[in-house]
Structure 1
Amino acid sequence: MDIVDAQIHLHHTLDEATALAVMDALTIRSALVDECWDFGEGRPAHAARPYYQLPTGEYRPVGPGAQIAAMRNPDRFSYLLRMNPLDPDLENWMSQAAATPGFRAVRYLLGGPADEQAVLDGGRRAFFAAATANGLPAFVASHAKAPFFERYLREFPSLPIVFDHCGFAVDDDAFDALLRLAQYPNAYLKWSHAPCLFGGGAFPYPEVRPYLDRAMSAFGRERIMWASDFTAEPMIQRMRGGPVVSWSEALYYMRCNPDLSETDLEWVLGKTVRTVLGWL
């Protein structure tokens, strides 16, 4: 089976060589990299390192290690960048990144109240317009506020918008609201951190299965992609409680799920993210 991990953080406790060795051991063929040296504690959501500051004071995330990994191993790694919606040269920067070998997507990390209001008011239209113009899927860390992005799903129907980490649904109401977005054909779901979010106990986390079943019913297997994001597990555990899930556990609780057919697994574990990224 062609398995693609839709999110790993190179250089946050994980280097390229180690990643390849573990991927080989777990039969993971490829991975999408969000390069991250830390998680930006005390800084804006888009300002986890590596980044540099512009003369305006805004942060511009970069991914030098991810770019090198993708260029050295184009069949094993692709990468995305966190894009600052307040970057004064956002459109040109996104266009330049899109022309870089191995670069396949952008990521929006929802910030505090001012950013939330700007998203609701349509003030982040330029971000999604630039992603559409450059043919770049947009991954969104919505922090339990996925419905805030509904207007962009409607306005940019050709743009795949992927809601990270099960929408960070903090309760059943937030999960229900996330599932309602499945009515839009360009809405996708990244299935990750579910054991922490949905009260999983021990591997293989049977408590998660009803939530995944509802997601599969709403989105369909063609619009759900699996990711481990395992290097962020300790941080998520501190935020939400629950287990710290290893890379192998994150993969094999999916592979061992009796509710998923072989065809379901082919899509969720690889084909969906390859199709969205055009990484075929």
Structure 2
Amino acid sequence: MVIVDAQVHPWSDGESTGHHRRAPIDNGVLLQEMAAAGVDKVVLVPPLWDPNGNAYALSMARQAPERFSVMGLIDPAAPDAAARLRHWHDAPGMRGVRFLLNTPERLQPLLDGRCDALWPIAQEQGITVAMLAPGQLGAVKAIAQKYPRLKLIVDHLAVPRAAVGPRALQHWPELLALAALPNIHVKAVGVGDYALDPYPFVSLEKPLAQVFDAFGAERVIWGSDLSRLHHPYVHCVQHFRQHLPFLDPDALALVMGQNILRLLDWK
């Protein structure tokens, strides 16, 4: 089984913020972490705090295209956002785009329509779009309905920032309802951090089973969000591989790697 981590923030400059680790995850550190946890490939998602942004992640992907690809960031409020997106795939290693819409300031371009021009471009160019937009699943639904060929990923299962325990799952009915739209996928990233109980996070078995029942194994993507984990990287891998009894080997192969490889057309 090829294990592909669908979300790690790499950085070599800048100071991390919030609940992320302070020591940078640069190329050397990440390779060591991957070897220890048994992870074969990683989708790099540049963090906002690195002033080099997409450039550092792309440099890693150029050096090791068999190990790294990039789901880069774009500011939807930037005047050249649409022009940049039209040429998104020109950069070797750039395979998707992520929109951070998880604070009032970051959310504003979605609410005031500045994002509207980007969705048809992404659909036309075949660019997979990941959206971190907790509390905005209605907007995600509307986009998916209007652009049925747009490949959309709901990041972090739409769990609000820092939510744990029952509060992290309050939106579950709305999330599960999105499964009716076949172009929506969900990314189960670092889910152990939503649990109040320790590894192997038994409290998450039922809600995760509900996600798989709704979306099917073909539309669920595993990832770690390594920089914010409060438990060992290998536990993030083993949680899905060893402690979710409803996942058979074929489903695991999809969730742990094949789905994200297909979405990003990462051969």
The match for 2:252 is: 265
**Residue 278 (1) aligns with residue 265 (2):** yes
Unaligned runs of 5+ in 1: 37-46, 52-61, 234-243
Shift of 1:48: 3.5
The match for 1:49 is: 50
Q: Classify the secondary structure of the residue corresponding to 2:87.
A: helix
Q: Tell whether the 8 Å contact from 2:76 to 2:109 is kept in structure 1 after alignment.
A: no
How large is the RMSD of aligned CA atoms in angstroms?
Answer: 1.9
The match for 1:129 is: 120
Q: 1:93 to 1:152 in 2, by over 3 A?
A: same
Instruction: Percent identity, please.
Output: 26
The match for 2:212 is: 216
Q: Tell whether the 8 Å contact from 1:166 to 1:193 is kept in structure 2 after alignment.
A: no
Shift of 1:195: 2.4
* Structure of greater relative contact order (alpha carbons < 8 Å, 6+ residues apart): 2
Rounded Cα–Cα distance in structure 1 between residues aligned with 2:152 and 2:113: 16
**Residue 253 (1) aligns with residue 225 (2):** no
Q: Deviations over 1:4-49 (max 9, x none)?
A: 000001126211122122212322111000122xxxxxxxxxx533
The match for 2:19 is: none
Correspondence 1:25-44 to 2 at 5 A = 25-36=36-47
The match for 1:5 is: 5
Shift of 1:115: 5.7
Q: 1:79 to 1:114 in 2, by over 3 A?
A: closer
Greater mean alpha carbon deviation, residues 167-176 or residues 256-265? 167-176
Correspondence 1:1-280 to 2 at 5 A = 1-11=1-11, 13-36=24-47, 47-50=48-51, 62-113=53-104, 116=107, 119=110, 122-168=113-159, 170=163, 171=167, 172-197=169-194, 199-233=195-229, 244-257=230-243, 258-280=245-267
Rounded Cα–Cα distance in structure 2 between residues aligned with 1:189 and 1:149: 12
Q: Tell whether the 8 Å contact from 1:230 to 1:246 is kept in structure 2 after alignment.
A: no
Rounded Cα–Cα distance in structure 2 between residues aligned with 1:150 and 1:115: 19
Greater mean alpha carbon deviation, residues 162-171 or residues 211-220? 162-171
TM-score where L is the length of structure 2: 0.86
Shift of 1:155: 1.1
TM-score where L is the length of structure 1: 0.83
Unaligned runs of 5+ in 2: 17-23
The match for 1:55 is: none
What letter is aligned with 2:238?
Y
Q: How many residues align?
A: 249
Rounded Cα–Cα distance in structure 2 between residues aligned with 1:71 and 1:218: 37
Shift of 1:264: 1.3
Q: 1:102 to 1:118 in 2, by over 3 A?
A: closer
Q: 1:32 to 1:115 in 2, by over 3 A?
A: closer
Q: Tell whether the 8 Å contact from 1:4 to 1:28 is kept in structure 2 after alignment.
A: yes
